[in-house]
Each structure stands twice: as C-alpha cells, then as structure tokens.
Chain A
Amino acid sequence: MTTTTRPPVQAPPDRPDQPVRRKGIASRTPRGFYWMVLPAFALFFLLHTVPVLQGVFFSFTDSPGYGPWKFVGLSNYAALFTDSRVLHSYLFTFQFALVSTVLVNIIALAVAVALNARIRFKSTLRGVYFIPYVLSILVVGYVFQYLFTFSIPAIAQAVGNAKFSTSILSDEGLAWIAIVVLAVWQAAAFNIVLYLAGLQTVPAELYEAASLDGATAWKKFSHITFPMIWGFFVINMVLSLKGFLQVFDHVVAMTGGGPGTATESVGLVIYKGGFQGGEFGYQLANAVVFMIVIIVFALVQFRVLQREDVNA
C-alpha cells in the first residue's frame, strides 16, 4: 500500500540530465560523478596501463622495436641473468640507492632538527637549504661534473693530496661516489622539508618535560623526536629508495654511464639498449624484472620498518 506513494525512487529517470535526488545523496550516485572520472580513467588506461601491459607482452618477444617479431618465451629473462652488463647495472644501482637513501635521510633529518631549533635567520636558512629542490638535476649535474673534473682535483693538487688530484669521475671504482654526492645534494632539500613538517607535529610540552628531568639534547632526540616522527621516517626511506633506484638524470649528467659501463644504472641500460641498441624486447624483460625488484624493495622496507615501530 504505502510503497505506491513513492514513485520517484523506483522509476529510473527518462532524461539522464535531470538529477533525481529526492532521497538524499547517499541513495544513488549522481551521473556527474561518473563523467568526472571516466575521461581520466580512459586516458590513464591508455597512456599508463596499456604501455605497461605492452611492455610485459613484448618482454616475451625478440622485437627490436620495429618490424617483425616472434615469441621467444622466457629466453629474454634467462639471458638477463648471464648478461654481465645488466648484472653490473643492478649492483651499481643497489649500491648507489642504498648509500644515497641512508645519507639523504641522516643529513636531512639532522639539518631539519637544526633548522627547527632556536637559531637565528631561520627562514633565510630554510630558504637556502631548499634551493636545490627547484633546480634541474641534469643542469646541476653538469655543474657538479665540472666541480669533480676540475675544481676538486685543482684544490687537491694545491694542498698536495695525490688521491684526489685526478678526477674521481674517470676512476671506475670511485665515480659512483660523485653521483651519490650529487643525488644527496639535490634530494636533501625536499627531505629536509618533509622532516621539518614532521618535527612540527611533536608537542613542545614533551621537550619541556624532558628539560625539567634534565635530559640531554641527544636523549631528547632519541627518546622523543625520533619516535614521534617515525612515520615520516618510514615514508621518507621508502620514497627515497624508490626514487634513487630509478636514477637516470644524475648518471647522464655526470658520467653518461662511464668510465666504460661502471656507472650505468638500470634505467640507463634500459634506455640505451631499448632506444639505441635494438634490444626492445630484451630491455622490456629487464624492465619487468626491475619493476618487481622495486615493488619487493618497497614491501620489505615497509615490513621491516613497521616491525621496528612495534619494538620501539
């Protein structure tokens, strides 16, 4: 009986543009919402998902990037594990990314704590430390390349230091350190701001209480500050590592992968082999492995760091 008196609910609208919202917004999704997400979804699918799927697909082929191709099963993947250039690029990338991640986070956290302390010229100093964020890595890389090629050897010669009187960029064993310096210099800026944001969330009362108890600065940091910003630390570690594993611009600017292939990162090998070396299918297999590695790294990091959190 009673239901017949409420026609608007059951009758679908004849005209789609006419919004039916008698029963409040929770009852059905206004059509507008679908139109808001549809173009974005379509474009994202076309420009992101399709290329990823294509990449996975062609990783099982011998395609050079043009012309005919055929399926080769897993042989691209098998070949990767015996390709010394690829294996070395992974070693370099891991070494670079791990060292850079640790250094960036230590330095950025230390600078952020100092910038958050009672110092003079606070906003000016913050402004200065944040400058690298707005600079192009490639352009800064060229500047650092000059620094490492000419300035540092010149200084080393002047003070009579033999070790650094030649450019470390031309030393197979040391060139990676220069790239770490550039990466840390550039990335610290952003991480400093993230840590500053974290430090703002620590209540001042805790420090006051600690001061009354006579805690030292280090005690305050290790017992109050660090545990309180643990969440920021986890996020920064994960994002830094993920970013550094994909290192590309730094290497292009500083060494181009040299000397020889000593500083080729995975991204650079994929780029060089895929675009210039006719290894489209093969480097796509490399890229698929690389994607898995990055995801595994992120998951492991979250796991480990979150477990630490429980213990702390």
Chain B
Amino acid sequence: MSAPSIAAPVADRSEQAFGAGEPDAPAPRRRRMRTPDPEDTGHHNWWLTGLMIFLSLSILVPMYLVVVTALKTPDQLTGAGFSLPSPARWQNFADAWTLTSFPRSALNSALITVGAVTLTLLTNSMVAYAIARNMHKKLFKGLFFYFIAALFVPFPILMLTVAKLTAQLHLDNQLGLILLYVVFGLSFNIFVFVAYIRSIPRELEEAAIIDGANTWTVFWKVIFPLLRPMNATVGIITCVWAWNDFMLPLVILSDPGDATLPLQQYIFQSTFNTNYTLAFASYLLAMIPLLVVYVVAQRWVISGVTRGAIK
C-alpha cells in the first residue's frame, strides 16, 4: 500500500521541523513488532471508501467537463454541458493548437520551467549549504533571516517596481523570468535546504577536507549528491510554480511572443471569449503536460511535497 512510501521519508527527521509537536518523532514501523494487527489485514472501511470515491467526483467532474466540452461543436453546447459529444470534434484541438499558438507558448513555458528548476537546484542548495555550515557566524545567520523574512513580503509591493526594473535591465523576457523564479524561490528553498543540510553529519565533509578537497569540491562531490531527496522536493515545487504561474509573466513579459501557457490563455480569453469549445480544447492542451508528468511520477510528487511539508 502507499502508506509506508509516504511514511518513510516523513519519519526520518520530522522532529526538527515542528517544535510545537511532540519532541520524539514516532517510528511508524514500531507497530510491526507487535502481533499482526487484525485491522491491518483487510478490514477496510467500505462505507468511508464509498464516501471518498463519491467526494472525489468534485475533482473528476470538472475534469470530465473539460474533456467533453473540448470535443464538442458549438451547437452541441446545450444545457449543463455534461452530455457526451456526438460526434466528437477532434478538429478543436488542431484549431486551438494554431489559434493559441500552443507550440510556441508551450515551448516558452518549458524553457522557463526547465531553466528555473535547473538553476534553482544548482544555486539555492549551494547558498543553503554555505549558510547551514556557518550558522554560528553572525553574517550567515543574518543572511538566513534576510532571505526568510521575504516570505512575508507580499508580491504586490514589488509587482510595479520589479516590472520597471526588469524592463530597464532588458530582462523583460524568458531569461528575466527564470532569474526571478530562482531568486524569489530562495526564501522558501533556503528554509528547507538548510534544515536538511544541518541534519547531514559533518564527518563526511571533514574526511573530504583532510583529503585536500576545497569548499567547492566538498559541496559538489559530497553534499550535492546527498541532497537528492530535497532536490526532488524543491524541483517539483519550483516546476509546478513556474509552469502554472500567471502573475509574474503577466507583469514581466513585454513581447507577446514570449507568452507562457497561462498568459497565452489570458490573451486568448480576452480575444475569443465566446468560442467555448475551442477555449476548452486549449485548456486541455495547457493542462496535459503537467498532468502527464504527474500521472507518471505521482508517487514521487506526493512524497516530495510531503517531505517539503515536514521541514
């Protein structure tokens, strides 16, 4: 079942994250030592299972609506819109593909997301390493709180000025967005990376230093490989953020040709706002890439986010 797969990453260092909880993180495995729990062996709560399946319709019905509407012709759009399309009009996707210039905006989104995730993982973990290993020094501790404090600075206060600044610096393009995701992500990422790095014993680094490795080598050869679970977490969160974000592209990008998928949807919506079948085909196109990634990597995504939550 899925319970252990989530419990395992959770159990290892949950105690540092939440001082409010009990001091000792329980080991869920302790239960195994006892005689087999009768309730573990197939005594399922079917009533609750049924309820949860029913409630999951609240997620699935809107998804169903997207699919059937995307396949209809405009004159099939009658009533509540939940009827099946007859016949299905696959041409909608081809039309949406060209009308919303899907390939270009998907490419823009992909470029920005890949760039943001790659740079974030390479740089934010490094900054966190330097801070985590020097927390006893005023400078680094100050830097830590400087980055963390930004978590409570709402975006609207810099929305207007950062847009002007990036325009002046000629960063009102994909490169600028990548940079902003990497930099704005620092606050949260430093928080989770530092907690994780501090739980890595220093002996490993000291051994490498005795062998003559300098700080950089220690980080790239010893620490970075150990950060893999946290890199997965930060990578997933950054990926979902950069791919779906609407506000930053809206205020930063100046050339419509640079538009990301959500921004393109916004532009499309304000120009063709009554062509619903086409619009829904384009929504589906915009949702599919991350949905596919999610379905394929569902386990990692959920446990990755869980790990971030525990920090």
Contact = CB atoms under 8 A, between A and B. Distances in A.
A288 B180 CA distance: 21
B80 A119 contact: no
A215 interface: no
Contacts of A287: 154, 156-157, 159-160
B290 A134 contact: yes
Overall SS of chain B's interface: helix
A130 B261 contact: no
B65 A151 contact: yes
Contacts of A135: 244, 287, 290-291
A115 interface: yes
A125 B62 contact: no
Interface string A266-282: 11001100110000100
Contacts of B51: 114
Interface string A179-191: 0000001000010
A183 to B, nearest CB: 14
A158 B18 CA distance: 51
B1 A43 contact: no
B158 interface: yes
A197 interface: yes
A46 B155 CA distance: 15
Contacts of B160: 55, 65, 270, 274-275, 280, 283-284, 287
Given A43-B183, A231-B21, A284-B157, A125 B56 contact: yes
Contacts, number: 312
A136 B62 contact: no
Contacts of A201: 10-11, 14, 21-22, 25-26, 310
A294 interface: yes
Contacts of B186: 40, 44
A127 B280 contact: no
Interface residues of B, number: 118
Interface in A200-214: 200-205
B160 to A, nearest CB: 4
A31 B215 CA distance: 8
B80 A158 contact: yes
A158 B79 contact: yes
Given A33-B215, A231-B20, A118 B43 contact: yes
Interface in B116-133: 123-124, 126-127, 129-131, 133
Contacts of B59: 128-129, 131-132, 185
Contact of A147 (B65, B77, B166, B215): B65
Interface in A240-291: 242, 245-246, 248-249, 252, 266-267, 270-271, 274-275, 280, 283-284, 287-288, 290-291
Given A133-B240, A136-B244, A287-B157, 15 more contacts: A29-B134, A31-B215, A32-B130, A44-B146, A44-B150, A52-B157, A125-B52, A137-B244, A137-B246, A146-B276, A201-B14, A248-B246, A249-B262, A287-B154, A291-B156
6 contacts: A48-B153, A119-B49, A135-B291, A198-B309, A204-B28, A231-B19
Interface of A: 19, 21, 25, 29-34, 36-37, 39-41, 43-44, 46-48, 50-52, 54-56, 58, 65, 111, 114-115, 117-123, 125-140, 142-144, 146-147, 150-152, 154-155, 158, 185, 190, 193-194, 196-198, 200-205, 228-232, 234-235, 242, 245-246, 248-249, 252, 266-267, 270-271, 274-275, 280, 283-284, 287-288, 290-291, 294-295, 298, 306, 309
Interface of B: 1-3, 6-7, 10-11, 14, 18-22, 25-26, 28, 30-31, 39-40, 43-46, 48-49, 51-53, 55-56, 58-60, 62-63, 65-66, 69, 77, 79-82, 123-124, 126-127, 129-131, 133-134, 137, 140, 143, 146-147, 150, 152-166, 179-180, 182-184, 186, 202, 205-206, 209, 214-216, 219, 240, 243-244, 246-247, 251, 261-262, 265-266, 269, 276, 279-280, 283, 286-287, 290-291, 293-295, 298-299, 301-302, 305-306, 309-310
